[in-house]
Amino acid sequence: MKILMDERGKKYLLKEDREFQTDLGIIKKEQMERATIGDEVITHLGKKYKIIKPTVNDFIDLMDRRCSILIQKDIGVVLAHTGLGAGDRVIDAGTGAGAIALNFGNVVGEKGKVFSYEIREDFAQVAKKNIDDFGITNIEIKNKDIKQGIDEEEIDLVFLDLPKPFEIFEDVYKNLRLGGWLAVYAPYIQQAEISYKISKKVGFSDIKILETLEREMEVRPQGTRPKTRMVGHSGYLIFSRKL
Amino acid sequence: MKILMDERGKKYLLKEDREFQTDLGIIKKEQMERATIGDEVITHLGKKYKIIKPTVNDFIDLMDRRCSILIQKDIGVVLAHTGLGAGDRVIDAGTGAGAIALNFGNVVGEKGKVFSYEIREDFAQVAKKNIDDFGITNIEIKNKDIKQGIDEEEIDLVFLDLPKPFEIFEDVYKNLRLGGWLAVYAPYIQQAEISYKISKKVGFSDIKILETLEREMEVRPQGTRPKTRMVGHSGYLIFSRKL
Amino acid sequence: MKILMDERGKKYLLKEDREFQTDLGIIKKEQMERATIGDEVITHLGKKYKIIKPTVNDFIDLMDRRCSILIQKDIGVVLAHTGLGAGDRVIDAGTGAGAIALNFGNVVGEKGKVFSYEIREDFAQVAKKNIDDFGITNIEIKNKDIKQGIDEEEIDLVFLDLPKPFEIFEDVYKNLRLGGWLAVYAPYIQQAEISYKISKKVGFSDIKILETLEREMEVRPQGTRPKTRMVGHSGYLIFSRKL
Amino acid sequence: MKILMDERGKKYLLKEDREFQTDLGIIKKEQMERATIGDEVITHLGKKYKIIKPTVNDFIDLMDRRCSILIQKDIGVVLAHTGLGAGDRVIDAGTGAGAIALNFGNVVGEKGKVFSYEIREDFAQVAKKNIDDFGITNIEIKNKDIKQGIDEEEIDLVFLDLPKPFEIFEDVYKNLRLGGWLAVYAPYIQQAEISYKISKKVGFSDIKILETLEREMEVRPQGTRPKTRMVGHSGYLIFSRKL
């Protein structure tokens, strides 16, 4: 995977098999094929494009994202709280366009594995294409209702973004490794509460409901201050551990 | 690395080469040697201990931590904002007891590498021991002042937790790969401002100062509510990208 | 009402009818009687005390406060959101030690009136004494269960800090003036939700649930930053208007 | 002062000396003259309007507001932290359209007084008209640069919303009563810092910099959650007391 970035900072996925046409001119198919990360390529109008190795975030920004995705601050909480690392085995449901699966796949690396369950065929197709485009091989998209059963065992992290996640907590508990984490994303407080209570009933430990507020600071000539507008809420994250 | 957990949820690092004595009784050296993840071992008083594969967070909780460490919510912001992943090359300074290096090492995996600069020899020693204990081989502790120069090139992420991080931004810029990130932790707003301004001057793009507030929700019999006390501030995180 | 403040900033209620003994020496009864606001009085050990006209907050800090009181940030939200002013008529329940009644009495002034309902006789007694001590005459403490009925009409603001405030919303609606406000303090989200729904059912308009987070900034020689600890939650405030 | 409210909740200032034309029909001058608070008046198209006594907030929403005004959450912090009450004497600068003066005038009542300094004649004119329209007589708008000197003494609260408020802190100190408060509104952290430091130098006590975040909760059929968007920052409030 490579991206092209023009002088204004605008980014594009680089497709090696075709000519690239922009408002700053044309880059020929041959140029695209030969472009290596770190290179500069020049359009027929003389404009420069840099070839950059994308981070997973660059790619997610540019990919087909037809359903809403978890925002970065919440992904950060999941990664940090569960201590997810290279080599881990993760389940997520539902896949959506595959953004969170890409985030997990990016962290667990070649020795790890992500199994991503999606009930809708159209979403599963989009996710598969996105994952192929990013060129990562450790994510398996499963077009299957996770409520029908979880096929994998000894899982380090199960992440659920479902309307009624708690319906499968017993199954999740069985399929987690000892010490593994369940993480649930829930926009409404009632979902968080029920998740908390059912986690407890099913036998999970270290149960916590967290929410984060992220604020950006502005440095202006007149002085420094937080930005006027911010995101007030994305969702609650409920963490439970099998111990 | 393995940890022992008793029935009360109390955790200990498992040392295979010695007998383990607790208030719940003794586990013999032979038991310790043979213990496999997932097993239960029993003390001479009949108490059970589970053997668990620790997450990086379990280990950091138990290791020698003689200097303050970055809190989880801030590690999450760094991981999520920079999109750090398996195979990436990271520099961090100062090492302290090695907690953040462990977090990075955990994510970048065997194909990645962490170079951690620490000016104080005593901290470097502690960090080395902690890293050995965790059994990770992709972290190199360098007992060296990072202001004397950065030895590595084509770095994906440089993370600085230093009193005057901005003194080395030019060097950092040179040693980052195209598309790489500089992330700075700064408890005071003035450090954040100067970091912002010097990042800009040095040529960085996509510069942002972020702070997060994390709040826990309590589910009680009477109802649900945020916890009464919370952390009001840990620090600002300043992100800048080489593009 | 007057208060005494020593050179360390420590404050005391001034009682004119008695000698005052502190660790900085004795002030005689005659001195206490003659002390006027703005004066300095001197103990037999030569230590100075200033005589100050207290704000309502000074008084509340010093008075008998045997039950928990609404914190300042929440009082501020009530005052600002309802636009309470001099001359307004207010009902509050339960009184507790009378702090919120004092806050309201302080704002509505001589032309206004506060009717404060308290079911427990001991609390009502404490509140009466506190109000007498502060020397305000526009607050009437009623040792009565507000669920037995509200006696006053054409009220500008009804403030409820009760376990099930919503049980009396119909009554409140009847006794408010057109344009008057109901404000409810609720620590739990469920109380806030039910209050919201019943307000709507009873016919209230402009219904809002608000919560505020207040953070203090520290100015230190090394720099400026928010305080490390802060209050994470006191309660939700639910506002509904009769229109 | 009276306001008219139609069946959709839309509000208008009632002017007794003229016919009132809306999209819901005409109310005759005679009807307007006779309208009493609590009445309903009917347009020639048969639509009802309620006559309501406005709160100060209703009036500020409807008045000529050509400059930005302090938001409610910040007014609340000022009122609550300083314990402003009926009978108090307040200075504010600059007046702007008079909103904060109206808030103060509303609280201090007939026995209190607000002196509002505004350097620009056009703003002073607008503010005077607004105050006349609201029908409050305890506010004096002074078309004068407060840096030229403060005329009033024994003030309970001085509120400054100026670019460099700290230039007059010495003067403010002199003109406050013992126990009186200085409150400063500052959007930028640097203004807050300097205000903090100069307050200290000038001799003020109990100096605090506060900021508040206000969040609204939504009750929907699917569940309850904080609103997606919120105000991230309005300003810092710096409080200092003369003791």
Q: Do the chains contact at A73 and B77, CB–CB below 8 Å?
A: yes
Q: What is the pLDDT of residues D185-202, one digit of tens each?
A: 999 999 999 999 999 999
Kindly indicate the confidence band of residue C8, based on its pLDDT and cuts at 50, 70 and 90: confident
* Percent of chain A whose predicted confidence (pLDDT) is above 70: 100
Q: What is the pLDDT of residue C7?
A: 85
Q: What is the rounded CA–CA span in Å between residue A50 and residue A60?
A: 19
Instruction: Write the CB contacts of A50 (distance below 8 Å, at least 6 apart in sequence).
Output: A4, A5, A39, A40, B178, B243
Q: Do the chains contact at B79 and A76, CB–CB below 8 Å?
A: yes
Residue D34 has φ and ψ, to the nearest 5°, of -85, -15
Residues 15-54 of B with CB under 8 A from A: 37-38, 50, 52-54
Pairs across A and D, CB distance < 8 A: 67
Q: What is the rounded CA–CA span in Å between residue B236 and residue B226?
A: 23
Q: Is the CB of residue A178 less than 8 Å away from at least one CB of chain B?
A: yes
Q: Do the chains contact at D226 and A215, CB–CB below 8 Å?
A: no
Q: Enter the CATH code of domain D58-241.
A: 3.40.50.150
Q: Where are the domains of chain B?
A: 3-52, 58-241
How far off is chain D from A164, nearest CA to CA, in Å? 12
Cα angle C160-D223-D7, degrees, rounded to a multiple of 5: 65
Q: What is the pLDDT of residues C128-171, one digit of tens each?
A: 999 999 999 999 999 999 999 999 999 999 999 999 999 999 99
Using the predicted structure, report yes or no on whether residue A8 has a pLDDT greater than 90.
Answer: no
Q: What is the rounded CA–CA span in Å between residue C38 and residue C32?
A: 13
Q: What is the pLDDT of residue A93?
A: 97
Q: Do the chains contact at C228 and B223, CB–CB below 8 Å?
A: no
**Can you read off the two tokens belonging to residue B218?**
């309590």
Q: What is the rounded CA–CA span in Å between residue B77 and residue B98?
A: 18
Q: What is the rounded CA–CA span in Å between residue D19 and residue D40?
A: 16
Q: Is the CB of residue D61 less than 8 Å away from at least one CB of chain C?
A: no
Q: Do the chains contact at A232 and D233, CB–CB below 8 Å?
A: no
- Which value does ipTM take for this structure? 0.95
Using the predicted structure, report yes or no on whether residue B152 has a pLDDT greater than 90.
Answer: yes
Q: What is the pLDDT of residue B7?
A: 85
Q: Which residue has the tokens 């059994």?
A: B135
Give the residue from chain B lying closest to A212, CA to CA: B214
Q: Do the chains contact at D81 and C87, CB–CB below 8 Å?
A: no
Q: What is the pLDDT of residues C52-95, one digit of tens each?
A: 999 999 999 999 988 888 999 999 999 999 999 999 999 999 99
Query: With contacts defined as CB-CB under 8 Å, which chain C residues touch B191?
Result: 223
Query: With contacts defined as CB-CB under 8 Å, which chain D residues touch C208?
Result: 216
Q: Please state, in angstroms and as integers, the Cα–Cα distance from residue B88 to each residue in B106, B111, B235, B242, following that order.
A: 11, 8, 25, 16
pTM of the complete model: 0.95
Kindly indicate the confidence band of residue A68, based on its pLDDT and cuts at 50, 70 and 90: confident
Interface partners of chain D (CB pairs < 8 Å, 3 or more) are A, C
DSSP B46: S
Using the predicted structure, report yes or no on whether residue C9 has a pLDDT greater than 90.
Answer: no
3-state secondary structure chain A: CCEEECCCCCEEECCCCCCEEECCEEECHHHHHHCCCCCEEECCCCCEEEEECCCHHHHHHHCCCCCCCCCHHHHHHHHHHHCCCCCCEEEEECCCCCHHHHHHHHHHCCCCEEEEECCCHHHHHHHHHHHHHHCCCCEEEECCCHHHCCCCCCEEEEEECCCCHHHHHHHHHHHEEEEEEEEEEECCHHHHHHHHHHHHHHCCEEEEEEEEEEEEEEEECCEEEECCEEECCCCEEEEEECC
Whether D120 contacts D128, CB under 8 Å: no
Strand partners, A51: A4
Q: What is the pLDDT of residues B5-20, one digit of tens each?
A: 998 889 998 888 899 9
**Can you read off the two tokens belonging to residue D153?**
């003494």
* Percent of chain D whose predicted confidence (pLDDT) is above 70: 100
Using the predicted structure, report yes or no on whether residue D57 has a pLDDT greater than 90.
Answer: yes
Strand partners, D20: D27
Q: Do the chains contact at B226 and C215, CB–CB below 8 Å?
A: no
Q: Which of D188, D222, D227 is the closest to A225 by Cβ?
A: D188
Matching fold, domains D3-52 and D58-241: no
Interface test with D, best of A191, A227, A233, A237 (most D CBs within 10 A): A233
Whether C36 contacts C51, CB under 8 Å: yes
Strand partners, C237: C185, C210
Query: With contacts defined as CB-CB under 8 Å, which chain A residues touch B77?
Result: 73, 76, 214
Residue B10 has φ and ψ, to the nearest 5°, of -75, 135
What average pLDDT is seen over chain B? 95
Q: What is the rounded CA–CA span in Å between residue A104 and residue A139?
A: 9
Q: What is the pLDDT of residue B65?
A: 87
What is the pairing mode between strands A205-220 and A236-241?
antiparallel
CB atoms within 10 A of CB A31: 17
Give the residue from chain B lying closest to A71, CA to CA: B80
Element (H, E) at B215: strand B205-220
Whether D97 contacts D65, CB under 8 Å: yes
Q: What is the pLDDT of residue D93?
A: 97
Query: With contacts defined as CB-CB under 8 Å, which chain A residues touch D234?
Result: 228
CB atoms within 10 A of CB C135: 9
Kindly indicate the confidence band of residue A16, based on its pLDDT and cuts at 50, 70 and 90: confident
Q: What is the pLDDT of residues B112-138, one digit of tens each?
A: 999 999 999 999 999 999 999 999 999
Kindly indicate the confidence band of residue A65, based on its pLDDT and cuts at 50, 70 and 90: confident
Q: What is the pLDDT of residues B177-230, one digit of tens each?
A: 999 999 999 999 999 999 999 999 999 999 999 999 999 999 999 999 999 999
- Provide the terminal-to-terminal Cα distance of chain A, rounded to the nearest Å: 39
Kindly indicate the confidence band of residue D65, based on its pLDDT and cuts at 50, 70 and 90: confident
Residues 184-223 of B with CB under 8 A from A: 189, 192-193, 196-197, 205-206, 208-219
Interface test with A, best of B11, B55, B201 (most A CBs within 10 A): B55
Interface partners of chain A (CB pairs < 8 Å, 3 or more) are B, D
Using the predicted structure, report yes or no on whether residue D16 has a pLDDT greater than 90.
Answer: no
The SS3 assignment for D207 reads strand
CATH 3.30.750.24 for domain A3-52, yes or no, is: no
Give the residue from chain A lying closest to D194, CA to CA: A223
Q: What is the pLDDT of residues D138-179, one digit of tens each?
A: 999 999 999 999 999 999 999 999 999 999 999 999 999 999
Whether C135 contacts C112, CB under 8 Å: no
Query: With contacts defined as CB-CB under 8 Å, which chain A residues touch B81?
Result: 57, 72, 76
Count CA within 13 A, CB hemisphere, residue A28. Answer: 6
> Could you tell me the strand order of the sheet in which D11-13 lies?
D11-13, D3-5, D48-52, D40-42
What average pLDDT is seen over chain D? 95
Using the predicted structure, report yes or no on whether residue C192 has a pLDDT greater than 90.
Answer: yes
Q: Average pLDDT, stretch A129-142?
A: 96
Could you give the maximum distance between any two Cα atoms of chain D, in Å? 66
Whether C21 contacts C49, CB under 8 Å: no
